[in-house]
Amino acid sequence: MALKEVFAPKEAEQPKVYADEKPAVDVDLRFCPKKDRPRMISMINRLAKSPLGLETLQIAADNGYHFNFIRGKHRAFGFADPEHKRIALNPNFPDEKLIGTMCHECRHAGQFVRAEDLSESKWDVKTNLIYMRAMEADAQAYASSACEEMFRMGDKGPKEQFYKYYPEIAQGFSKALIKNDAQMGHNLLTDTFKAWYDQLGTKSVYEEGYLLEPMQQELNNIAHGKGVEMTFDRSISAEKTIAEICWTKDGNYFKDDAKILNSGKYINVSEFTMEQMKKFFEFRKELTGLDDAKALDGIETRPNTIKPRVSEMRKPAVKKDKAAIIQAIKQNKDKEEGKNESLAKFAAFRRLAEKRIR
């Protein structure tokens, strides 16, 4: 169990009495029960006092996202669902924690709007690493900066909670503040974005959630005759990634050369992750004859730093013979041709990853 989970509250703090406010941003609350709206509006209005928080809220509102709370037990602090245009927050955490989460998830909503290609099952491995990591680095850069803006206005709780739950990126943010003489702005966002990649344990967990688990599911699907979904045939450059991810209303904030995302800490994976991906391509070749191992070209490795949370890659028992598997692959490919890409898989994929990672 992660340290933050040990200290995470199992239930929300004592019920607060919320004033009868109107939201500072005209967000869609139709699907938020009336009894929950005062709490949601209170958090929206607190976040909206931050210029960066207001920007993220406005983008989500302008693009039709609705806000409500997660029902039932859930490990995630919150999530953004691009298919159903939903920002969802976990009510079992205090407002001060959820305000930063709200900013983070609204930032994801803006990323989804700007992205031209969210068909992650088609991406090559390098694109998955560059794009998914950049999404998280950007969302955390915005959330930490918004919490800092609120802190300077006297609302200290969100920053304190951010530092409690994300000590590694908080340390990176603090160093970025010192480097930039405590000045808010694009340089601070850039340096905080880059600091996200120093979180070795976090990167390992994301590799498991965004790469290894989908790869194992792919093998299971193939063995059951469902065909191939992961094609590894689409690439998004670092330059395009930065252009889509790091946009602000005042221009792109990322001040370094986008090409840095192609090497070093920005692209490397743990030795465990690399070993499992090699096994995946080996097993998939045995099952289908497809040889896509070149998809790992250019991916660097780093030493393992945490105990893996997933099992080693395994080749599932085959339910059909190889000829039937290949026929299923062909049929699946024929069905996909001419169809518009849907956000449904991406949304489900992100919800699963958020549930596991947060």
Domain range list for the chain: 18-114
Contact between 274 and 301 (Cβ < 8 Å) = yes
Q: Closest Cα to residue 192, out of 172, 213, 165? A: 172
CA distance 21 to 23: 6
* Burial category of 302 from C-beta neighbours within 10 Å (exposed 0-12, middle 13-18, buried 19 and up): middle
Q: Which amino acid belongs to residue 15?
A: P
Contact between 297 and 269 (Cβ < 8 Å) = no
Q: What is the pLDDT of residue 351?
A: 54
Q: What is the pLDDT of residue 168?
A: 95
What single-letter DSSP state applies at residue 77?
Answer: S
Contact between 266 and 245 (Cβ < 8 Å) = no
Contact between 313 and 212 (Cβ < 8 Å) = yes
Q: What is the pLDDT of residue 73?
A: 80
Q: Which residue's entry shows tokens 């951010």?
A: 162
Q: Which amino acid belongs to residue 185?
A: G
Q: What is the pLDDT of residue 178?
A: 98
Contact between 282 and 314 (Cβ < 8 Å) = no
Q: Which amino acid belongs to residue 244?
A: E
Q: What is the pLDDT of residue 353?
A: 53
Residue 17 neighbours by CB distance under 10 Å: 5
Q: Which residue's entry shows tokens 């090699």?
A: 278
Cα atoms in the 13 Å half-sphere on the side-chain side of 187: 10
Tens digits of residue pLDDT in 64-78: 999 999 998 878 999
Q: Closest Cα to residue 215, out of 322, 313, 309, 285? A: 313
Q: What is the pLDDT of residue 75?
A: 82
**354 CA to centre of own chain:** 7
| Segment holding 211, helix H or strand E | none
Positions of the chain with pLDDT lower than 70, given as ranges:
1-15, 319-358
DSSP-assigned letters across all residues of 176-233:
HHHHTTT--SHHHHHHHHHHGGG-HHHHHHHHIIIIIHHHHHHHHHHHTT--------
Residue 150 neighbours by CB distance under 10 Å: 25
Assigned CATH class of 18-114 = alpha beta
Q: What is the pLDDT of residue 34?
A: 96
* Burial category of 266 from C-beta neighbours within 10 Å (exposed 0-12, middle 13-18, buried 19 and up): buried
